[in-house]
Amino acid sequence: MPASPSANPRPRRHLVSVWNPSYASSAMDEHLALLLDLARQDDERRLRDDDLYVWWGKVRSPNRQQPLAHGAEVRAVAAAGEVEQSDETQLYLTDYRSLYVADVIGVYDGELPATEQTHVPAYYRQAKLSCDFWFRLGDIRRLVADDTLAVIEELKLLRNVHYNDRPVSIYGGMVDLPLVVTRPDGRRYFDERERDEVAAGRLWAEWDAEQGSGLGGIERELRENLLGDAVWRGLEPAVRTFLAAAERDFRAHRSDAAFDFSPVVMHLAKALEVQSNAILRRALMRAPTKSRMAKVQDKTVDLTAHESLTLRQLAHVLATERDVASALGAVLSDARWLTGQLPSILDAFAEVRNPAAHASRVDRALATTWRDQLLGVGCQGVFVELAQIRHR
């Protein structure tokens, strides 16, 4: 008997494309700058919320004589972002050194109306570029900066629909763009709750810009020379950014005994919260209702729907909630460490993080001790343990 249409739903489809640096000094920077300017107008209430977007054009090469491969399918995938707003349609954009993911909320065929030009970077007009169609992007999030090897590894997580579902490869595989791909792990990048908790409700493009410059080189250094590829891939994208920001600030002031290392501690604390909450939520997503419930601040809540837990709340839940621990043990490879050793680490670090959050000074020795323990300098790091936790 054939399966019903809902029994094996087709995986959500996404898109992969590249930007050509010959069109502008930095095509991605042009789009981000425009999106950030629109976000500022939105903050100043000079822009309607539904006008916060930027157009990305699929530039038509003057040398291409044939119709665009899979053009109708690409349009259908992009259109799904407008019709099915409860889910994500992702457009991965790369110049092979860096990788971004954009939230596709619509698509437009042909030349855009003049009324839309305020949402289009000027270089399209200046270079008189013609586009097959336009993607309307509600947000753009940085995944990798200045690290080709990391781009390769990230793209391997996607499967090329028109290449027998093989992993996407930048060597020989970037043909007939945009690629139509699926993402077997179902990773979401524009979840509103995550954005509220990490970026305070702002666009990811704004949050990325606020982290400052120089993080790409630090991320590559952490991946190549400290944590390793497997651990790095096991960390949430926001966690990688927080760790790089902490390491950047630590290295810049390592020789300054008078420096207040509170920012380093705060970045590390946020990374620890985000990674631990992500593991907990994903592991409990399919658990029985009883196993998802826990007492948080005198209230019994569903951990998969509740806001992110603080370090102390995480420690309490992991150490005392037996049903939660049992559910974690059933699905995770290293649940004993998670419920046995991690709670005491979280509690101890909260003792440092909480004063740091309230303007108390953190000295170099204390920051160094926790930086080494969490990142694994001379020991098995806490983030190494967290990143190696797998579903059975």
Return the pLDDT at 4. 39
User: 3-class secondary structure for 217-256?
Assistant: HHHHHHHHHHHCHHHHHCCCHHHHHHHHHHHHHHHHHCCC
Q: Six-digit token pair at 260?
A: 């207040």
Q: Is 33 helix (H, G, I), strand (E, B) or coil?
A: helix
Q: Are 53 and 219 in contact (CB under 8 A)?
A: no
Q: Six-digit token pair at 99?
A: 């990788």
List phi, psi (to 5°) of 24. -155, 160
Q: Are 120 and 148 in contact (CB under 8 A)?
A: no
Rounded-to-integer distance, Cα 385 and Cα 353, Å: 20
Tell me the CB-side half-sphere exposure of residue 215, using CA atoms within 13 A. Answer: 21
Count other Cβ atoms within 10 Å, centred on residue 233: 16
CA angle 344, 349, 352 (to 5 degrees): 145
Return the pLDDT at 24. 66
Per-residue pLDDT of the chain (392 residues; tens, 9 = 90+): 334 344 446 789 999 999 987 676 689 999 999 999 999 998 888 877 789 999 999 998 877 768 888 899 999 999 998 877 778 999 999 999 999 999 999 999 988 999 999 999 999 999 999 999 999 999 999 999 999 999 999 999 999 999 999 999 999 889 889 999 999 999 999 999 999 999 999 999 999 999 877 899 999 999 999 999 999 999 999 999 999 999 999 999 999 999 999 999 999 999 999 999 999 999 999 899 999 999 999 899 999 999 999 999 999 999 999 999 999 999 998 899 999 999 999 999 999 998 888 878 999 999 999 999 999 999 999 999 999 999 88
Count other Cβ atoms within 10 Å, centred on residue 322: 9
Q: Are 119 and 55 in contact (CB under 8 A)?
A: yes
Q: Read off the DSSP letter of residue 258.
A: T
CA dist list (Å): 212 to 167, 205, 269: 32, 12, 18
- Computed from CA positions of residues 319, 323, 326, 332, in that sequence, does the dihedral angle turn out positive or negative? negative
Rounded-to-integer distance, Cα 14 and Cα 372, Å: 39
Q: Are 64 and 45 in contact (CB under 8 A)?
A: no
pTM for the structure as a whole? 0.90
Q: Are 144 and 150 in contact (CB under 8 A)?
A: yes
Q: Are 178 and 69 in contact (CB under 8 A)?
A: no
Return the pLDDT at 86. 72
Contacts with 318 (C-beta within 8 Å, 6 or more apart), sequence order: 280, 324, 325, 338, 339, 342, 343, 346
Q: Six-digit token pair at 370?
A: 């926790």
Rounded-to-integer distance, Cα 369 and Cα 250, Å: 12
Return the pLDDT at 63. 76
Q: Six-digit token pair at 6?
A: 């809902």
Cα radius of gyration (the chain): 22
Dmax over CA atoms of the chain, in Å, equals: 73
Tell which phi-psi region holds residue 3, choosing left (phi > 0), alpha (psi between -120 and 50) or beta: beta
Contacts with 41 (C-beta within 8 Å, 6 or more apart), sequence order: 47
